[in-house]
Amino acid sequence: MIHITIHDKACRGCQLCLDICPTNVFTFDAAAAKATVAHEEDCIGCLSCSYLCPSGAFRHEEHRIVKNFYRDCEFLSRMEKFL
């Protein structure tokens, strides 16, 4: 089964991973201002979170890569400042 790790010190709390994940794997810990993995079992291995995270905070293990089908033009326009 897939295992997702978010590097605690690397996460800057931007919440981009929460916005992009198509299966809502993450929640946001407001007190710590960091993303957390809440539903690891729902991950489909698209790696969108890993590609978009500006801190490179993700590590995915034991996953099969699937085609990155998630295309959201409005979201991608908001991402431009990070590209």
3/13 with CB nearer ligand SF4: 13
Instruction: Return d(Cα 76, Cα 32) in angstroms, integer.
Output: 26
Q: How far is the CB of 83 from ligand SF4 (least distance, A)?
A: 14
Binder to ligand SF4 among 36, 55, 75, 79 (CB under 6 A)? 55
The structure tokens listed for 14 are: 């931007």
Over the range 5-44, which residues count as b (16 or more CB within 10 Å of their CB) and which as e? Answer: ebeeeebeebebbbebbeeebbeeeeeeebbebeeeeebb
- In the range 13-52, which residues lie near ligand SF4 by CB under 6 A? 13-17, 20-23, 25, 35, 43-49
Contacting positions for ligand SF4 (CB under 6 A): 4, 6, 11-17, 20-23, 25, 35, 43-49, 53-55, 57
